[in-house]
């Protein structure tokens, strides 16, 4: 084969050599293409640096009016003119409607009469109770005084009896002479004692026995007789006072007085409320704030007929008496006061919602509720426009939620309740036409702000098996090094890292899900 090559012409030899070189180059290219190493993947890096993290709670809610004016009309009034319709914007002082109120005067008269009657019943019982209380106090004072006198008198009698027994011979016991008893009874009558008191004294004194002074007549025995008579008189007076005191105590009824006071207060509130409504209609209805008319239930030239809702706030007799039993006549009297002249039928005629004072009500779960305080800053987003806001109310009790909004879903995932939560209200500062009552808006409540926090982008952090990690870029080795970190607060864009990273290090901004520790990578440049 070599001999044949040597016999070839120079031109042919050059052609063969060129072909061989080409084929070798082609084979080398194919081999290189198939076996060359893959270049490292390029990733965008983020530098670990100090910055600010604003922790927010994202919720959504419905815009409401902070001030709702309900103009209430009473059944029977005639509507003269109506100056607005639903959707009208009104200013403070604008006239809304006028009325002829003569048809409702009967309700006002009846309410005033009921109030005066209830007040009279209360005052009468109060005066009676006050009188009984005063009398009871006086009787107790007299009883205490008599008991003290009786104690002293018994000690004096015991002392005299001891002296007589030790110094005089024994004598027989005889009853006190009737003439002496009668003399003392007459003296009692002159001092103003009642017939019952005198009768009680005579009965008690007739049973007392004293030494027979006809056989031994000494001054001590005379004194003993006198003191026994005085003791009998004191005991009779005590019995009379105790009987009178028992009758007085039985008429003292604080529960009944409280019940009558509650009825009088209820009737007063009913009358004053009705009078306020009546006077307001007499003058005509005027807007008290700038706002928009959302309800009109009155028609010019027609009498107002409200839709009366069932009254669930009435007071019954048992609740007033607290379960205490009373006599039938008293119970009938209170029931009559409660049942007389129910509240005048009334209803909302016009409603004006204020546009100067708007709020958003949201429902949050218990986990988020503990973080929210009144006065916190908030951002309200409506139709892609942001408004400053402020938390003005945080509910203290749970309320059932009508649906699942962003706030309730988030709270559920964070350990709150998904079936209900507490109401939080955010006031919108400087609302404009883009904020519409009844529309849903998004809210960001600023829970906290941490300045000087070591931060990384949220997309750089990986959560797996209960741990947070990032991939740190080793520029010398050209590798991604997986590192466990401890996170702190977070906001829409950044995580606070409290352990595991240092300022100036670079982390992979969006690592692949299957990236492994030590993977060769390259920093992407702009």
pLDDT averaged per 10 residues in sequence order, the chain, 526 residues: 57 68 68 64 92 90 87 93 92 94 90 89 78 75 85 84 68 71 77 74 74 59 78 79 67 69 87 92 92 91 77 49 54 56 80 86 87 91 90 76 43 43 89 84 91 94 92 92 92 92 94 90 83
- State the Cα–Cα distance between residues 325 and 259, nearest whole angstrom: 12
- Is residue 72 domain-resident? no
> Do 100 and 10 fall within a single domain?
no
Q: What is the tally of structural domains in the chain?
A: 3
> Do 164 and 257 fall within a single domain?
yes
> Do 109 and 233 fall within a single domain?
yes
> Do 226 and 150 fall within a single domain?
yes
Do residues 293 and 352 make contact, with C-beta atoms less than 8 angstroms apart? Answer: yes
Q: Where residue 462 sits, what CATH number does that domain have? A: 2.40.420.20
3-state SS class at 9: coil
> Do 176 and 100 fall within a single domain?
yes
Do residues 195 and 240 make contact, with C-beta atoms less than 8 angstroms apart? Answer: no
> Do 29 and 105 fall within a single domain?
no
| Structural domain of 27 | 2-35
Instruction: Provide the angle, in degrees to the nearest 10, between the axes of the packed helices 178-190 and 195-205.
Output: 160
- Is residue 368 domain-resident? no
Res 418: pLDDT? 41
- Is residue 408 domain-resident? no
Domain boundary among 299, 324, 343: 343
- Is residue 423 domain-resident? no
Do residues 423 and 367 make contact, with C-beta atoms less than 8 angstroms apart? Answer: no
> Do 149 and 250 fall within a single domain?
yes
Percent composition of the chain: helix, strand, coil (DSSP 3-state, to 5):
40, 30, 30
Res 310: pLDDT? 47
> Do 118 and 10 fall within a single domain?
no
> Do 242 and 128 fall within a single domain?
yes
> Do 141 and 30 fall within a single domain?
no
Res 492: pLDDT? 83
- Is residue 133 domain-resident? yes
For residue 385, report the phi and psi dihedrals to the nearest 5 degrees: -115, 140
- Is residue 305 domain-resident? no
- State the Cα–Cα distance between residues 438 and 455, nearest whole angstrom: 39
Do residues 420 and 363 make contact, with C-beta atoms less than 8 angstroms apart? Answer: yes
Which residue, 152, 207, 150, is CA-closest to 178? 207
Res 260: pLDDT? 81
> Do 23 and 106 fall within a single domain?
no
> Do 123 and 154 fall within a single domain?
yes
Res 495: pLDDT? 93
For residue 274, report the phi and psi dihedrals to the nearest 5 degrees: -65, -40
- Is residue 355 domain-resident? no
Res 511: pLDDT? 93
**Which residues are CB-neighbours of 172 under 8 A, at least 6 positions away?**
211, 212, 215
- Is residue 333 domain-resident? yes
């Amino acid at each position: 084969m070599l001999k044949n090559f040597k016999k070839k012409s120079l031109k042919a030899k050059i052609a063969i050599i060129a072909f061989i070189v080409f084929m070798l180059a082609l084979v080398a290219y194919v081999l290189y293409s198939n076996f060359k190493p893959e270049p490292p993947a390029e990733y965008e890096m983020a530098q670990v640096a100090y910055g600010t993290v604003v922790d927010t709670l994202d919720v959504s809610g419905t815009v409401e009016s902070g001030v709702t004016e309900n103009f209430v009309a009473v059944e029977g009034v005639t509507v003269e003119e109506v100056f607005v319709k639903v959707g009208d914007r009104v200013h403070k002082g604008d006239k809304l409607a006028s009325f002829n109120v003569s048809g409702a005067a009967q309700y006002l008269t009846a309410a005033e009469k009921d109030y005066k009657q209830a007040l009279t019943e209360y005052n009468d019982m109060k005066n009676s109770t006050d009188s009984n209380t005063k009398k009871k106090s006086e009787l107790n004072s007299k009883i205490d005084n008599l008991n003290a006198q009786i104690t002293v008198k018994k000690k004096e009698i015991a002392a005299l009896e001891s002296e007589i027994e030790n110094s005089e011979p024994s004598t027989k016991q005889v009853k006190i002479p009737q003439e002496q008893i009668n003399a003392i009874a007459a003296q009692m009558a002159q001092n103003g004692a009642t017939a019952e008191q005198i009768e009680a004294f005579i009965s008690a004194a007739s049973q007392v026995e004293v030494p027979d002074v006809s056989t031994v007549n000494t001054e001590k025995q005379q004194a003993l007789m006198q003191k026994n008579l005085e003791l009998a008189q004191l005991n009779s007076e005590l019995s009379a006072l105790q009987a009178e005191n028992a009758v007085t105590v039985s008429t003292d009824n604080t529960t009944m007085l409280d019940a009558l006071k509650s009825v009088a207060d209820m009737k007063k509130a009913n009358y004053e409320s009705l009078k306020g409504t009546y006077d307001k209609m007499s003058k005509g209805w005027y807007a008290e704030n700038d706002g928009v008319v959302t309800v009109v239930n009155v028609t010019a030239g027609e009498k107002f007929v409200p839709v009366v809702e069932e009254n669930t706030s009435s007071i019954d007799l048992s609740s007033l008496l607290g379960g205490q039993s009373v006599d039938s006549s008293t119970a009938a009297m209170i029931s009559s006061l409660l049942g007389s002249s129910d509240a005048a039928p009334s209803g909302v005629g016009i409603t004006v919602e204020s546009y100067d004072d708007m709020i958003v009500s949201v429902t949050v779960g218990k986990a988020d509720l503990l973080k929210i305080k009144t006065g916190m800053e908030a951002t309200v987003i409506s139709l892609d426009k942001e408004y400053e806001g402020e938390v003005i109310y945080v509910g203290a009790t749970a309320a059932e939620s009508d649906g699942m909004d962003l706030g309730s879903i988030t709270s559920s995932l964070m350990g709150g309740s998904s079936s209900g939560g507490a109401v939080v209200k955010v006031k919108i500062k400087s609302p404009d036409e883009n904020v519409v009552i009844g529309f849903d808006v998004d809210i960001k409540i600023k829970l906290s702000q941490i300045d000087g926090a070591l931060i990384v982008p949220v997309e750089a952090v990986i959560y797996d098996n209960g741990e947070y990690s990032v991939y740190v870029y080793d520029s010398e080795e050209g590798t991604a090094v997986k590192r466990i970190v401890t996170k702190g607060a977070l906001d829409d864009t950044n995580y606070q890292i409290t352990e595991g990273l240092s300022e100036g290090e670079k982390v992979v901004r969006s690592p692949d899900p299957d990236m492994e520790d030590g993977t060769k990578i390259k920093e992407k440049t702009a």
